[in-house]
Amino acid sequence: MSILKVKNLSKTYEQFKALDNLNFEVKQGQIYGLLGPNGAGKSTTMRCLLTLIKPDSGDIHFFDKNLNHNRKEILNRVGYLIEKPDFYTYLSAYNNLKLLSKYSLNKIEDKTIRNLIEKVGLKGRENDAVKKYSHGMKQRLGLAQVLLNNPDLIILDEPNTGLDPQGIVELRDFIFELKNEGKTVILSSHILHEIEQLADSMIIINKGKSVIQGSKEELLGENNLHVKIEIESTNDIENALNDTQWKNKYNGTTNNMMSFDIQKDEIAHLVSFLSDKKIAILSVSYRKKLEELYMSLTQNTNA
């Protein structure tokens, strides 16, 4: 079931076309990655989804309902964190959430607020003024705010910005936990390694357009892997490969690092072939990484 459908979304700021007939679809229960260089249109897309700005044209449907005609109902089922969270710093975490809960269409019990504080790891600090919080603690409080309405869909714009490595790992685990609870998450991030680990599906946008989209298996599958084999010596490499099945899959050798474009199940055969040719192998690395795909599609822009 689709939880979000975006069709022909366009937005222009004076002479700058931020979105240009953008189309994508998010399935229920997915973690969906939204990627692109600075200025590609990621934040504009998220702001259109949340009615923070109005697109020039296009249709947005949440839960099979048109956003324009069902705004209040839809947004009551969506939690979002855009850029950095903003709170009354002189109030405690608990009082901030209590205040925000009063603006909800749903009745939010005190027990719910306290459970959320514990869920995001702020138990014991809930009565401290937010001005005493570190950046990571404010991010945690922002996540608690996102979950106040028990939303079906969660939209996070660069949630790991400024987090230390431990904070990034904890956020990753938290997002997986949300998925396990049946939530759908749309996640924008510049940390490609995190998207690669988290996302079920993703879209890369550039200059307001989709350049590629699909499931992680489709985009980062095991076909046509870029395989690097480090060897001890490059002597007679060319001769060894002549008149073999590997010749047309060989990209050359740089600094004793051979490069091939092959499938995963061919790696063992290639290693065995090289060993038979008395070529000493020091290491083998492979995997079609998101970073490689991303750079190949956006390399002509300033990321």
Contact criterion met (CB below 8 Å) for 112 and 104: no
Q: Which amino acid is at 110?
A: D
What pLDDT does residue 297 have?
Answer: 78
Top-confidence residue, 284 or 9 = 9
pLDDT at 156 over 90: yes
Could you tell me the CA-to-CA distances from 59 to 19, 39, 49, 200, 208 in Å, in that order?
A: 13, 22, 10, 24, 16
pLDDT at 300 over 60: no
Query: Rounded to an integer, what distance in angstroms lies between the CA atom of residue 165 and that of residue 121?
Result: 16
pLDDT at 78 over 70: yes
Confidence tier at 289 by pLDDT (50, 70, 90): low
Q: Which amino acid is at 14?
A: E
Q: Output the CA torsion sign for 126, 169, 78, 60.
A: positive
What pLDDT does residue 153 have?
Answer: 97
pLDDT at 301 over 50: no
What pLDDT does residue 303 have?
Answer: 37
What pLDDT does residue 83 have?
Answer: 74
Confidence tier at 189 by pLDDT (50, 70, 90): confident
What pLDDT does residue 45 have?
Answer: 95
What pLDDT does residue 225 have?
Answer: 77
Model pLDDT for residues 200-256, shown as the tens digit of each residue: 999 999 999 999 898 887 787 766 677 889 998 888 888 889 889 999 889 888 889
Model pLDDT for residues 29-50, shown as the tens digit of each residue: 999 999 998 889 999 999 999 9
pTM over 0.85: no
